[in-house]
Amino acid sequence: MNILKFFTAGSVDDGKSTLIGRLLYDTDSILADQLEALQSSNRKNDDGTIDLAILTDGLRAEREQGITIDVAYKYFQTDKRKFIIADTPGHIQYTRNMVTGASTANLAIILIDARNGVVEQTIRHSYLVSLLGIKHVVVCINKMDMVGYSENIYNSIIDKYKVLAQQLKLADVNYIPVSALRGDNIVQNSDRMEWYEGESLLHFLEQVDTDNLDKSQFARMPVQWVIRPQTDELHDYRGYAGRVLSGTFNLNDRVTILPSGASSAIEKIEFFDQAPDAAHAGQSVTIHLKDDVDISRGDTIVNAAALPQDSKLIEADLCWMDTRALDISIMYLIQHNSKTTKCKISEILHKVDINTLEKHPADEFKLNDIGRVIVKTADALAFDLYDDNRANGSAILVDSRTNLTVGALMFRAAVE
């Protein structure tokens, strides 16, 4: 059994919370006392049935206003898989929350209201999916019950969406007609849409390939901590602790340590009381090297035969996440895995109108703005391009005046 992390884009009006509530409800993931709280709540659907959307509204303000403000994480599992849902708000003012939820997902569910078809918000959500490089997309055409379960309406919507998917270069797009309210094609295939021959949403989620980060040419491990017991019997013990971001390290592999450029080979891999022959993407391990090199937190151990990019000038997509606008005259901190250094945004190349996908020249970046910039870093980062290696192609910006996370960066090219 493995884990599928997915995020849902859509607004309450599209029935997003109802869809998630339905998935949880129909997979028996809601416990009796939670259900009791649900039934005693004042919020009900028009026909008096319980409002499943309440399940995902966590904060008081959200319950009061009946909207999602922040990312909520929900969990359920079936015999096949454990699922982690990042439930994100869909309105444009919460773009940063959506980007946050999408950053760790390997699948996106895009909700379209069958009555409205592809709208501005659909374009915006799909753009974010392509920006964040999410591999799989499921487009749920929801509220099919409101359009008489019409195959024609469904087909005309997916024809429109296909044009958008092509424009955004979304690779794996799948379409499912559903009614979250009635439970059609969510867990069970619906007999009200016999013209639909595909899978139910849950069945699809259980089967889809999860991201495989194991591209061996990109073996990367940022060092988080150096283990040095300095006891009598472990006097010379020096283990580099970290999580393998991508690729595989095998015993005896030649490695380079960045930013110093020192080279060595892997002597031993430890995982608590085990000493495996290899360390793979996703695993947290301790690595020992054959040579005595100076390594500390913030350094990265990489495959010597496939070095990362080498430049202090990086072209990147930036999503601005703070209420205070970007100030190109000041220095920010950039955090890339375990490495933090100073940086400046040296140039704004363009901003994207995420409702229309048009690019505009710009000289300012405000909350929820997205566009392309040039970042100049004080120290070199051992980065890859986001499209090649998502795990090592992203970073956050921190404002040292407030310590807040103010920007998300996706590296697109090394400049020079």
Partner 1 sequence: MSTYNFDYLDELEAEAIHILREVAGQFEKPALLFSGGKDSITLVRLAEKAFRPGKFPFPLVHIDTGHNFQETIDYRDKMIERIGEKLIVGSVQESIDQGKVVEQKGKNASRNALQTVTLLDTIAKYEFDACIGGARRDEEKARAKERIFSVRDEFGQWDPKRQRPELWNIYNGKIHKGENVRVFPISNWTELDVWNYIRRENIELPSIYFSHQRDCITRNGQLMAASPFLNMDDEDIIISKQVRFRTVGDMSCTAAVESEAVLIDDIISEISSSKISERGARMDDKVSEAAMEDRKKGGYF
Report CA-CA distances (Å) from 121 to 146, 190, 213, 263.
Answer: 20, 27, 30, 49
Answer for which of 172, 207, 237, 356 binds partner 1 (CB under 8 A) is 237
Residue 130 · residue 114 · CB < 8 Å: no
Answer for which of 8, 17, 97, 142 binds partner 1 (CB under 8 A) is 97
Residues 15-54 that bind partner 1 (CB under 8 A): 31-34, 37, 41
Query: In angstroms, what is the minimal distance from the CB of 214 to partner 1?
Result: 6
Sheet holding 136-142, edge to edge: 72-77, 81-87, 2-9, 107-113, 136-142, 172-177
Residue 412 Ramachandran class (φ > 0 left, ψ -120 to 50 alpha, else beta): alpha
Rg (CA), the chain: 24
262 burial via Cβ count (<10 Å: 0-12, 13-18, 19+): middle
Answer for which of 209, 271, 305, 355 binds partner 1 (CB under 8 A) is 271
Strand partners, 243: 284
Q: Does 215 bind partner 1 (CB under 8 A)?
A: yes
Q: Does 93 bind partner 1 (CB under 8 A)?
A: no
- The angle at the Cα of 123, spanning 172 to 202, to the nearest 5 degrees, equals 45
Binding mask 143-182 for partner 1 (x = CB under 8 A): ----------------------------------------
Q: Which stretch binds partner 1 (CB under 8 A): 13-21, 178-186, 252-260, 400-408?
A: 400-408
Residues 275-314 that bind partner 1 (CB under 8 A): 278, 280, 282-284, 297
Q: Does 70 bind partner 1 (CB under 8 A)?
A: yes
Using CB under 8 A as the binding criterion, the count of chain residues that bind partner 1 stands at 73
**Identity of the residue, 190 or 337, whose beta carbon is nearer to partner 1 in the bound complex:** 337
Q: Does 246 bind partner 1 (CB under 8 A)?
A: no
Q: Does 66 bind partner 1 (CB under 8 A)?
A: no
Answer for which of 16, 135, 336, 351 binds partner 1 (CB under 8 A) is 336
Q: Does 71 bind partner 1 (CB under 8 A)?
A: yes
Query: In angstroms, what is the minimal distance from the CB of 150 to partner 1?
Result: 36
Residue 321 · residue 96 · CB < 8 Å: yes
Q: Does 130 bind partner 1 (CB under 8 A)?
A: no
Query: In angstroms, what is the minimal distance from the CB of 361 to partner 1?
Result: 26
Q: Does 84 bind partner 1 (CB under 8 A)?
A: yes
Question: Which of 166, 177, 135 has its CA nearest to residue 386?
Answer: 135
Answer for which of 151, 199, 206, 214 binds partner 1 (CB under 8 A) is 214
Lookup: tokens for 55: 């399940």
Question: Which of 338, 342, 346, 331 has its CA nearest to residue 383?
Answer: 338
Question: Which of 92, 42, 94 has its CA nearest to residue 68?
Answer: 94
According to DSSP, residue 43 is labeled: -
Answer for which of 404, 413, 414, 415 binds partner 1 (CB under 8 A) is 404
Answer for which of 309, 311, 338, 341 binds partner 1 (CB under 8 A) is 338
**Identity of the residue, 198 or 282, whose beta carbon is nearer to partner 1 in the bound complex:** 282
Q: Does 377 bind partner 1 (CB under 8 A)?
A: no
Residue type, position 184, single letter: D
Lookup: tokens for 288: 């020992």
Element (H, E) at 254: strand 254-258
